[in-house]
């Protein structure tokens, strides 16, 4: 077994378990879609991330780009090999002509057959072949980073969409509780109105509040369904797929310790694939410069051919002529660039410019990354403070609303005052769950930038 086959065998041994696990994961998730009771199909965030890594169109497109890069890398290595072409021709000439086999000048009908095998191999080309192979290897490595970047992007999109869905789902529960309370209050208002204890306006206000709360519930349900649709699209699921999300047991109180934002940034620089890909862009551009400089140097090639033929003017059989006319040729070809209208010089200059542009692109990417980390860190910090304030406001509003309900039951306050406290409590509840899920989102983002997995 040669070294190349050993290399491929090692790769297969390493990749086979990984591919098997990936396939098992996909089959497990797909099995969920074929359960007897489709209404029981619920997806955790990790289910979504695993499925999207195998099915999202952006990820699949990046994988196809990687396959193309692998083809280009393999083809560039084969440029070191000699080429081989075969040719055969059959001709007929009449009158004065040169026999293509014997080169005799004759005046008669000539039937001739010629065949040849030709080969050439590049011995030296300013190291352009080697540099092209090295560059394609870098492009292959970069394509793997682009796959990871695509997976990271879909992971972040799924995390944001999933947490938003959880927010809407909890908002439905809040709206339902508020509606239940207002329905009970409407019953009390009707009893008091029928007894003549309150004016019709108070009773109408109670009914109006019930209808308004019912509208809020419907709106929350619609928002949740729209968010589920977004998740389906991110997962590339069919529109008719029954889909719901798991309610994770999240115990988040905003007390997560925030790391130094500069440390988070440096961790992100060392872990995120887009930064590594930008660094490879510089190496790829430098290879372009070496390839361009190679055009200044001469090209040396080894050529060879085998050939034979048959002509009708010789009094010999076809087989005998092919044996006698068999010829072999071996030669060296040297091509020295002298002047090509400044094309090589322009290529070298453009390659140098592209190196500078690649460096600028890397610095820009690092700058954008720091802005993302800084924003996530500030938002995580502020969301912690907002959550504490929102929780205090919610608890106070809840106590106030419960007290108002008791006062309303005994006629101590009117419907307008009750509605006001109910709306205050409902808004405080919404602010609390919004602050909670924003805090979870930014905490997860910071975990992601530190190279940790996103988990709920």
Structural tokens at position 68: 């193309």
Q: What is the pLDDT of residues 71-91, one digit of tens each?
A: 999 999 999 999 999 999 998
Task: Say what the pLDDT of residue 242 is.
Answer: 87
The CA-atom distances, in angstroms, between 175 and each of 33, 140, 241, 276, 357 are 30, 52, 27, 47, 54
Beta carbons within 8 Å of 180's beta carbon, 6+ residues apart = none
Q: What is the pLDDT of residues 247-262, one digit of tens each?
A: 887 777 766 677 889 9
- Quick check: helix, strand or coil at residue 300? strand
The CA-atom distances, in angstroms, between 372 and each of 224, 352, 445 are 27, 31, 9
Residue closest to 143 by CA, chosen among 277, 278, 285? 277
Task: Say what the pLDDT of residue 378 is.
Answer: 93
Sign of CA dihedral 282, 288, 293, 298: positive
Q: How far apart are CA 208 and CA 203, in angstroms?
A: 9
Averaged pLDDT for residues 147-160: 95
Task: Say what the pLDDT of residue 426 is.
Answer: 92
Q: What is the pLDDT of residues 395-434, one digit of tens each?
A: 999 999 999 989 988 888 888 898 999 999 999 999 999 9
Sign of CA dihedral 248, 254, 255, 257: positive
- Quick check: helix, strand or coil at residue 404? helix
Beta carbons within 8 Å of 332's beta carbon, 6+ residues apart = 300, 301, 302, 303
Phi first, then psi, for residue 119 (nearest 5°) are: -140, 155
Neighbours of 218 (CB within 10 A): 13
List, in sequence order, every residue forming a beta bridge with 116; answer none if it has no partner: 87, 307
Q: What is the pLDDT of residues 36-53, one digit of tens each?
A: 344 447 899 999 999 999
* 33 band by pLDDT with thresholds 50, 70 and 90: very low
Neighbours of 163 (CB within 10 A): 21
- Quick check: helix, strand or coil at residue 327? strand
Identify the residue with better confidence: 261 or 26.
261
Q: How far apart are CA 246 and CA 163, in angstroms?
A: 11
Q: Are 311 and 116 in contact (CB under 8 A)?
A: no
* 377 band by pLDDT with thresholds 50, 70 and 90: very high
Task: Say what the pLDDT of residue 30 is.
Answer: 52
Residue closest to 298 by CA, chosen among 263, 349, 264, 332? 332
Quick check: 70 pLDDT over 90? yes
Task: Say what the pLDDT of residue 277 is.
Answer: 97
Task: Say what the pLDDT of residue 11 is.
Answer: 35
Q: What is the pLDDT of residues 219-237, one digit of tens each?
A: 999 999 999 999 999 999 9
Which region holds residue 321: left if phi is over 0, alpha if psi is between -120 and 50, else beta?
alpha
Q: How far apart are CA 282 and CA 364, in angstroms?
A: 13
Beta carbons within 8 Å of 305's beta carbon, 6+ residues apart = 116, 117, 118, 119, 328, 329
Q: What is the DSSP letter of 101?
A: T
Domains delineated in the chain: 14-81+125-297+340-449 (1.20.1600.10), 87-124+299-336 (2.20.200)
Quick check: 4 pLDDT over 60? no
Task: Say what the pLDDT of residue 31 is.
Answer: 55
Q: Are 455 and 49 in contact (CB under 8 A)?
A: no
């Amino acid at each position: 077994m040669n070294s190349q086959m050993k290399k491929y065998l090692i790769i297969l041994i390493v990749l086979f378990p990984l591919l098997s696990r990936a396939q098992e994961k996909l089959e497990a998730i797909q099995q969920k879609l074929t359960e007897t009771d489709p209404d029981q199909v619920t997806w955790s965030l990790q289910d979504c991330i695993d499925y999207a890594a195998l099915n999202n169109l952006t990820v699949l497109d990046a994988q196809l780009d990687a396959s193309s890069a692998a083809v280009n890398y393999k083809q560039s290595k084969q440029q070191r090999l000699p080429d081989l072409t075969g040719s055969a021709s059959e001709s007929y000439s009449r009158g004065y002509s040169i026999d293509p086999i014997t080169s005799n000048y004759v005046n008669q009908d000539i039937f001739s057959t010629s065949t040849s095998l030709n080969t050439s191999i590049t011995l030296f080309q300013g190291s352009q072949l080697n540099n092209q192979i090295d560059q394609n290897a870098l492009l292959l490595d970069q394509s793997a980073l682009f796959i990871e970047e695509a997976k990271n992007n879909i992971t972040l999109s799924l995390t944001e969409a999933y947490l938003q869905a959880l927010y809407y789902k909890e908002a439905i529960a809040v709206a339902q509780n508020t509606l239940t309370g207002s329905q009970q209050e409407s019953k009390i208002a009707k009893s008091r109105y029928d007894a003549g204890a309150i004016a019709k306006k108070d009773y109408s206000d109670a009914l109006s509040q019930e209808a308004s709360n019912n509208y809020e519930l419907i709106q929350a349900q619609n928002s949740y369904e729209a968010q589920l649709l977004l998740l389906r699209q991110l997962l590339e699921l069919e529109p008719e797929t029954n889909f719901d999300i798991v309610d994770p047991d999240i115990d988040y109180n905003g007390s997560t310790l925030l790391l130094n934002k500069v440390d988070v940034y440096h961790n992100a620089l060392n872990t995120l694939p887009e930064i590594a890909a930008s660094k490879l862009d510089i190496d790829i551009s430098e290879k372009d410069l070496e390839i361009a400089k190679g055009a200044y140097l001469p090209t040396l090639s080894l050529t060879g051919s085998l050939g034979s033929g048959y002509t009708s003017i010789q009094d010999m059989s076809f087989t005998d002529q092919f044996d006698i006319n068999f010829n072999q040729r071996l030669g060296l070809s040297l091509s020295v660039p002298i002047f090509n209208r400044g094309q090589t010089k322009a290529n070298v200059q453009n390659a140098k410019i592209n190196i500078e542009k690649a460096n600028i692109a890397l610095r820009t990417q690092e700058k954008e990354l720091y802005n993302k980390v800084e924003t996530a860190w500030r938002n995580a910090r502020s969301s912690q403070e907002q959550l504490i304030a929102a929780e205090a406001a919610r608890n106070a509003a809840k106590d106030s609303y419960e007290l108002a309900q008791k006062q309303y039951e005994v006629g101590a306050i009117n419907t307008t005052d009750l509605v006001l406290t109910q709306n205050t409590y409902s808004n405080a509840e919404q602010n609390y769950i919004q602050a909670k899920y924003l805090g979870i989102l930014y905490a997860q983002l910071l975990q992601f930038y530190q190279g940790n997995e996103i988990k709920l």
